[in-house]
Homo-oligomer: A and B are copies of this chain.
Amino acid sequence: MSEALHWHRRRFLQSAAALPWLGSLALAQDQGGEGGPARIVREYQPRNLEYPFASLDQPITPTRLFYVRNHFPEPALDASTWRLKVEGAVEKPLELDLASLKQLPRVERVVTLECAGNGRLFLTPTERGVQWDTGAIGTAQWSGVSLGSVLDLAKVKPPAVEVVLEGADAGEVRSDPRSPGKIAFARSLPLGKARAPEVLLAYGMNGEPLPAAHGFPLRAVVGGWYGMASIKWLTRILVVEQPFQGFYQSLDYTYWERQNGLPTLKPITAMQVKSAIARPARGEVVAAGSKYVVRGAAWAGESAVARVELSTDGGKSWQPVKLSSKPEPFVWTLWTHEWLVPRVPGTASLMVRATDAQGRTQPMQRDPDRRNYVITHVVPTEVQIR
């Protein structure tokens, strides 16, 4: 274990020791017997695991804590027989093995992925889907090739409009009466986004080969878009001349947009500006009259975070927080704020809100047209002052 990791672990154990009520930070032995925070299990079959967001203390999320969002059982692919097909509206259909892919120019990029349902736990009434708290998000250094370089190799034909990415994960969506029987997980990107430099086909994560749970041997990483676009266990790239209308494209992972007074169904695409408080956690006890370093993250998808403000009085007043790095698109920014905790015991309501470079600010109210996705409204963190 590195020095830094030791330090983080020690610090975490100290803080966690002060938080016996934090079930989500249980000091369970996790993956190999190391102590420290563990992922929260949201669903066993298929496996859906949440990053313990209160443990946030560095921009890169440790792989063993990175959230896992599965729609079907995880396929176990054999890298020696696995192939990536590139077909449809291309001049040169391809069937690539991993070695051929690795001969293309290698790209390294730090990208934040967030599940489109992150924060669903805060919706009232309860909305269907995995009940994520704040931690269906994580940032990793991905290594691979750009999707654009593979498309160039296959030579996309001019009438093409979209690129469908299809994974090896497949099954029946029993919870949905509109499900079309057994389907593979698939999603499309407009050709422009597919060719953007932030869109990778990744075979490495945080300096290691991609783990099985994250799509071994190859996954898409679509910077700036919600996680459903970043297809894992990628097996097929299909270039199409009509917009794709698949189950996870046109029926699930959609929202309503009002046009001329009529609700219009739209696929979910780019991440919206959002911020979240990691510490204090909800219900945490803070010492009256102390200085408490409030910390969290802010992100803005394809845009950059421009401003992050914190309120410690339930939204009456807002102060700018300190950003730990210059914000840029595709990656979250960590922030801190030294809070002078009131001397009088009681409760406090903390809120954080971010604004992106386009001037869009997180809303205070939930927009019901977003249904069970894109949960970015400000959710207060109530703490106890003692």
- A interface residues with partner B (beta carbon < 8 Å): 87-88, 127-128, 164, 166, 177-178, 180-181, 183-184, 186, 238, 240, 244-247, 250-251, 254, 256, 260, 262-266, 368-369, 371
Contacts and interface: CB of A to CB of B under 8 A. Distances in A.
Q: Which one of A87, A127, A128, A264 has the highest number of Cβ atoms from chain B below 10 Å of its Cβ?
A: A264
Nearest to A371: B178
30 contacts: A87-B260, A88-B260, A127-B177, A164-B262, A166-B262, A178-B251, A178-B371, A180-B263, A180-B368, A180-B369, A180-B371, A181-B263, A181-B368, A183-B262, A183-B263, A184-B262, A186-B262, A238-B260, A238-B262, A240-B260, A244-B262, A244-B264, A245-B264, A245-B265, A245-B266, A247-B263, A250-B250, A250-B265, A251-B251, A251-B265
A326 B84 CA distance: 55
B238 A263 contact: no
Contacts of A260: 87-88, 164, 238, 240
A180 B128 CA distance: 14
Given A247-B265, A262-B244, A128 B88 contact: no
Contacts of A181: 263, 368-369
A266 B247 CA distance: 11
Nearest to A264: B245
A7 B371 CA distance: 57
Contacts of A251: 178, 251, 265
Copies of the polypeptide in the assembly? 2
Contacts of A184: 262
Contact of A246 (B240, B247, B263): B263
A371 B246 CA distance: 15
A265 B240 contact: no
Contacts of A369: 180-181
A159 to B, nearest CB: 15
Q: 9 closest pairs, A vs B, by CB?
A: A180-B263, A180-B256, A245-B265, A245-B264, A250-B265, A238-B260, A246-B262, A128-B177, A186-B262
Nearest to A266: B245
A35 to B, nearest CB: 41
B238 A265 contact: no
Nearest to A267: B245
Contacts of A240: 260
Given A178-B371, A181-B368, A369-B180, A264 B246 contact: yes
Q: Which one of A127, A245, A247, A368 has the highest number of Cβ atoms from chain B below 10 Å of its Cβ?
A: A245
Contacts of A244: 262, 264
A257 to B, nearest CB: 9
A254 B178 CA distance: 9
A239 to B, nearest CB: 10
Contacts of A177: 127-128
A180 B282 CA distance: 31
A183 B259 CA distance: 12
Contacts of A256: 180
A250 B254 CA distance: 11
Contacts of A87: 260
A99 to B, nearest CB: 26
A214 to B, nearest CB: 23
